[in-house]
Amino acid sequence: MSGYGRSDDSGRSRASSNIGMAVIALLVFGAIFGIAAWLQFDKTDGGQIAVVRNGGPFDNNNIRQVIQPASSLTWTGWWSSTHKYPAQQRFYTITADPNAGDKTGVDVEQIPTSDGVEVGIQGTVYFTLNRDPATLKSFDNKYGTRTYKVTSGTGADATTEFKTAWEDEAGFSAFLDQIIRPVISNDLRQQIGSFPCGELQASCALVQNGNNPQAVAAVSGKSNFNIAKIQNSVNKSLQDDFNTTLGGPFITDVRFNLAKITLPDAVQTAINKAQAAFAAVAESRAKVQQASADAAANAQRQLGYKNCPACVTIDTLKAIPPNVTTFAPGAGFGITSK
Write out residues in the chain with pLDDT < 70, as ranges.
1-18, 20, 22-23, 25-39, 97-106, 205-222, 266-291, 305, 312-320, 323-338
Q: What was the pLDDT predicted at 243?
A: 96
pLDDT digits (tens, 9 = 90+) for 115-144: 888 888 999 999 999 999 999 999 999 999
Q: What was the pLDDT predicted at 327?
A: 57
Q: What was the pLDDT predicted at 31?
A: 58
CATH match for 89-263 among 3.30.479.30, 3.60.15.10, 1.10.260.40, 1.10.1060.10: 3.30.479.30
Q: What was the pLDDT predicted at 106?
A: 47
Measured from the Cβ of residue 63, the count of other Cβ atoms closer than 10 Å reads 19
The whole-angstrom separation of Cα 133 and Cα 116 is 46
**At how many degrees (to 10) do helices 181-192 and 213-246 cross?**
140
Write the DSSP assignment of 111-122 as a string of letters.
Answer: EE-TTS-EEEEE
Do 104 and 154 meet the contact criterion of CB atoms below 8 Å apart?
Answer: yes
- CA separation, residue 4 to residues 1, 18, 206 (Å): 5, 21, 118
pLDDT digits (tens, 9 = 90+) for 179-237: 999 999 999 999 999 888 888 877 776 655 544 555 555 555 567 788 888 999 999 99
The letter for the amino acid at 138 is S
What sign for the dihedral angle of Cα 282, 285, 287, 289? negative
Do 125 and 253 meet the contact criterion of CB atoms below 8 Å apart?
Answer: no
Q: Would you kindly state where each structural domain of the chain is located, as residue ranges? A: 13-85, 89-263, 277-326
DSSP conformational letter for 80: -
